[in-house]
A and B are shown apart, each in its own frame.
Chain A
């Protein structure tokens, strides 16, 4: 699969297609104060992030340059817009973000110039014109109860369910951006009054999930880059998440990991232990059960991440985390499953979370509790 020649061939073919950008990427980057050297450095780190050999770095750069040839359609369903917020605005303008702006975004209602009826028309045209060629990115869960009437969009009051099915039919690739479109998200928490589900449940095509609440821009752009590079979807885990981003547990690369190993835990927020920066497992950190790269990539231009600010990971890139990871300030091992919501997900928790590693972690924490008795 990792055949540089094949990828180069593909890029050469893409280069022949008309692009939408008014000027080449190199110029846009230069105008924003990034040098060619910065760009190649970015390509190198992106290649590594995608799990490719370093020799792929120049190819990644080339792929970024032709990324305006592949049309992208971006749909907003039941959500809070936090994903777009995190990606398009808050983290701008990093190179990831500039490239995101450079991508041939045929339809995205928050950032496109057209609005209202005009926007709707652009959408219909893009779907027709790029039939079978566009990448569909979806943000937000799909309400399915009462035929999806809890979310209607546009002048024709089309339900989100109809719209995503219709758009998915002729898409070349489908990417679910964020936990809501991946697994239903907050809308799907018990009692799920709108019957919200992830996109993969309502279309019969493979969907790549890029979960997180919100996911980092690196993971979103990385997935799109991969599709451009290889013309196919990246290797995924059993929840269809790209392995390059979701291959390791938060816990594996956590800055507080040393304290975990040493049995040094925070037992109460605001305590001396909390000030010492000890491990947050006992105040509910779900890092050991959560697959994502936050501890490596961080947020807001690598400024910080929730664990650094003293609150445990809430497990936001795992399916059903709103129910299975709650209460968020208590360790999972104390989970008593007394509410109806917890019962509903208990089976899933059993399979997906409390693996042997999970049990071992709880046991380790319990043994250390004897060493450092609580209060």
Chain B
């Protein structure tokens, strides 16, 4: 048996993959992350609102999900109910972040690991999506428009109409990348050189967030963390590993389910679910935006000063958990569990994480691709 060390780059940071092999076949894989920043430590003793400025900096690519999760966990702790208008606008910005993330992941991270592609079209698409977020939130990446109690921006009816038109136009443009029937030319091109059925994993799925149209199939209280030999912490559910992310949360969609029946939880199904999810999010947001009542309040001032909260939202890579304890408006404790901690956990041979299970029994030459299918975010892990 031979062990080789592989450095996985271009994944928003860096991961180390130690492959145990027999010939070229992977028998076991160790996953390590060697960065640490200590974001949760900075939050202690600060005013709870500081968390909505600090937490987006956990990650430059999915920071907006961290912002919304922060606002929601404080609202959960202080028992604040925000208006429907604020809720819908937050759904729009989180949904759009997921969309631009998937497109960049497909064209900038995944595709180039197999073959060359002109990714300019994808960049332009993401840029225009980011512009819609900026219309609502002021800037992308990194903004602070969502705070506990609601949002700070005050949109006019004209702006809402503008945003809706933007959404409709982008939805139409997306049909060129993957249409509503599930056909994608670029996906076919990608799989010309690579088998569809590799990378089968645990076949166990977990959804904890209830935002957008996603529905949880588990409860946050059963989630626990365990330390590993590197800076990563594993996230488990009832002491077992589960796959989180677009495939897990869209399994009930008839089209995705059909692909799943045929290819099980392979790389193909995982990629298909991600690309198709974009269509579903567009459809949902276009329906939701009509429900905005412009006369509703943007913000309701929190009155409570103490409380504990724990929430989860569905972020681009899966279920994201934020937990807080507030005492006299100050943060006593804060904990963040990111989706990559579930999917890219470093388990042992008896208890494999989704990415480890997907790598085992596969040819070493596909390791990089299988790994990247989970859309790893080393930066989030290194919070």
Give A residues with C-beta under 8 Å from B: 32, 76, 78-86, 89-93, 109-111, 113, 115-117, 119-120, 143, 150-155, 157, 185-187, 189-191, 193-194, 196, 213-214, 268-270, 274-275, 277, 299-301, 303-311, 314, 322, 326-330, 339-341
Query: Do residues B7 and A120 form an inter-chain contact, with CB atoms below 8 A?
Result: yes
Give the distance in Å from the alpha carbon of A330 to the alpha carbon of B53 in the complex.
13
Residue of B37, B45, B57, B108 ringed by the most chain A CB atoms within 10 A: B37
Cα distance, A32 to B37, chains bound together (Å): 39
The 8 Å CB contact of B143, one of A32, A111, A306, A330, is A306
Give the size of the chain B interface in residues (CB under 8 angstroms): 72
Taking each of B8, B100, B145, which has the highest tally of chain A beta carbons within 10 Å of its own beta carbon? B145
| Shortest Cβ gap from A211 to chain B (Å) | 13
Contact B108 A89, beta carbon cutoff 8 Å:
yes
Q: With A93-B120, A270-B297, A309-B143 as given contacts, are A154 and B42 in contact (CB-CB < 8 Å)?
A: no
Rounded to whole angstroms, the CA-CA distance of A329 and B7 in the bound complex is: 42
Q: Known interface pairs A92-B124, A306-B145, A309-B136. Does A329 touch B12 (Cβ–Cβ under 8 Å)?
A: no
Please determine whether A90 and B47 come into contact, CB atoms closer than 8 angstroms: no
A328 touches B126 (CB 8 A): no
List 4 extra interface pairs beyond A90-B126, A328-B144, CB under 8 A: A82-B57, A152-B34, A322-B54, A341-B46
Q: Which of B73-81, B146-154, B187-195, B334-342 contacts A (4 or more CB under 8 A)?
A: B146-154
Known: A90-B140, A300-B134, A300-B139. A115 touches B10 (CB 8 A): yes
Residues on A with C-beta less than 8 A from B297 are 270
Residue numbers in B under 8 Å from A339 (CB-CB):
45-46
Q: Is the interface of A mostly helix, strand, loop or mixed?
A: loop
Contact (Cβ within 8 A) A327 B46: yes
**CB closest chain-B residue, reference A109:** B9
- Asked if B36 and A274 sit within 8 Å, CB to CB, the answer is no
| Prevailing SS type, chain B contact patch | mixed
Kindly list chain A residues whose C-beta atoms are within 8 Å of the C-beta of B153. 309-311
* 8 Å CB contact of A92 from B127, B142, B149, B231: B127
The CA-CA distance from A259 to B317 in the complex, in Å, is: 42
For residue A179, give the distance in angstroms from its CB to the closest CB of chain B.
10
User: Closest 6 interchain pairs by CB?
Assistant: A82-B60, A270-B299, A309-B138, A310-B152, A300-B134, A193-B38
Cβ < 8 Å to A, chain B residues 279-308: 297-301
The answer to whether the Cβ of B113 comes within 8 Å of any Cβ in the partner chain is yes
User: B63 interface residue, CB < 8 Å from A?
Assistant: yes
Say yes or no: B60 contacts A327, CB within 8 Å. Answer: no
CB within 8 Å for A311 and B144 given contacts A80-B58, A115-B10:
yes
Beyond A85-B141, A92-B123, A270-B298, is A189–B42 a contact (Cβ under 8 Å)?
yes
Chain A: which residue is nearest B133 at the CB level? A300
Contact A81:B134 (CB < 8 A) given known A152-B34, A190-B42, A275-B154: no
Is B59 close to A, CB under 8 A?
yes
Contacting pair B141 A82 (CB below 8 A)? yes
User: Cβ of A329: which chain B residues have Cβ within 8 Å of it?
Assistant: 47, 49, 147
Bound: A23/B291 CA distance, A: 50
Interchain Cβ contacts under 8 Å between A and B, 29 examples: A78-B37, A78-B382, A80-B57, A81-B59, A82-B59, A85-B141, A89-B104, A89-B127, A92-B127, A110-B9, A110-B12, A117-B7, A189-B54, A193-B36, A196-B37, A269-B150, A270-B149, A274-B152, A274-B298, A274-B299, A300-B130, A300-B133, A301-B131, A304-B139, A306-B138, A309-B136, A309-B143, A309-B152, A311-B138
